[in-house]
């Protein structure tokens, strides 16, 4: 059974702090990894993709991938209350289906 | 440009009724995926099309579920004889590329919330 594991949270951070979200995966064949943000009652919105080991930065977001440890993370700098949502980690074999974690709920308080 | 669209956004069905859920992918996107999301869970894969070919239907929970994409664009997910356990949000996603090298991002539509009473 291919799995993606996330801590369900909630992760509570003060406004302006760094939020760190983590994810592990079991399928060593997975090559593509994604972070989606999902607000309550809405559909998942893609915020980051990462395919190679190391860091990838986009604005306030940094994704990190370590294939040897089967570990993916997302850092959100200068967290804002509008970042409060559930963050879904997903992995797949490139053009194939995505396997999602259950999501980590992030709460950013003023 | 326009994103993935789905209709209806909400559907209430009596147990035993048939339902049809529609997905219109981003123009030019070759790959189309259907996922099912239960409350508090991540999306779970149902089926996958590349153009009109259904390449993977391993996630369909029973033979009551059927999906098609006859012209390689719009797709319909049909659920026959709906049961209460079918109640969930049904998400459609589309992806541009089919070749090695990526990108492989999948973009989701707003979903259809199905409630079976």
Of A4, A95, A102, the CB nearest to B31: A95
Query: Tokens 């797949």 appear where?
Result: A92
Task: Provide the pLDDT for residue B1.
Answer: 57
CB-based contact, B48 to chain A, within 8 Å: yes
CA end-to-end distance (rounded Å), chain A = 40
Spell out the SS3 assignment of B101-117: CCCCCCEECCCEEEEEC
Inter-chain touch B44–A100, beta carbons under 8 Å: yes
The alpha carbon of residue A10 is apart from the nearest alpha carbon of chain B, in Å, by 12
CB atoms within 10 A of CB A70: 17
A101 pLDDT more than 70: yes
A15 pLDDT more than 90: yes
Task: Provide the pLDDT for residue A55.
Answer: 97
Task: Provide the pLDDT for residue B101.
Answer: 63
Inter-chain touch A44–B95, beta carbons under 8 Å: no
What does pLDDT average to over chain A?
Answer: 95
- Please list, in sequence order, all residues whose beta carbon lies within 8 angstroms of the beta carbon of residue A71, skipping any fewer than 6 positions away: A22, A23, A24, A25, A64, A65
B98 pLDDT more than 70: no
pLDDT tens digit sequence for B5-42: 999 999 999 999 999 999 999 998 999 999 999 999 99
Inter-chain touch A102–B108, beta carbons under 8 Å: no
| Confidence band for A110, pLDDT divided at 50, 70 and 90 | very high
- What are the C-alpha distances in Å from A100 to residues A56, B44, B79, B85, B115? 20, 7, 23, 20, 23
B2 pLDDT more than 90: no
A32 pLDDT more than 70: yes
CB-based contact, B1 to chain A, within 8 Å: no
């Amino acid at each position: 059974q291919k799995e993606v594991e996330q801590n369900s949270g909630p992760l509570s951070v003060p406004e302006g702090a760094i939020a760190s979200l983590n994810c592990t995966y079991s399928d060593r064949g997975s090559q593509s990894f994604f972070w989606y943000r999902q607000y309550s009652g809405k559909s998942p919105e893609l915020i980051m993709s990462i395919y190679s080991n190391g860091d990838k930065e986009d604005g306030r977001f940094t994704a990190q991938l370590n294939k040897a440890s089967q570990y993916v993370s997302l850092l959100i700098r200068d967290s804002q209350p509008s970042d409060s949502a559930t963050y879904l980690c997903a992995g797949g074999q490139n053009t194939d289906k995505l396997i999602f974690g259950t999501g980590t709920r992030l709460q950013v308080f003023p | 440009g326009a994103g993935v669209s789905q209709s209806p956004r909400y559907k209430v069905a009596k147990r035993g009724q048939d339902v049809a859920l529609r997905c219109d992918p981003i123009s030019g996107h070759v790959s189309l995926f259907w996922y099912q999301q239960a409350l508090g869970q991540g999306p779970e894969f149902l089926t996958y099309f590349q153009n009109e070919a259904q390449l993977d239907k391993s996630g369909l929970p029973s033979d009551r579920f059927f999906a098609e994409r006859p012209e390689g664009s719009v797709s319909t997910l049909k659920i026959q004889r709906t049961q209460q356990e079918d109640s969930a949000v049904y998400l459609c996603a589309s992806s541009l590329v089919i070749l090695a090298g990526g990108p492989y991002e999948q973009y989701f539509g707003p979903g259809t919330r199905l409630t079976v009473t």
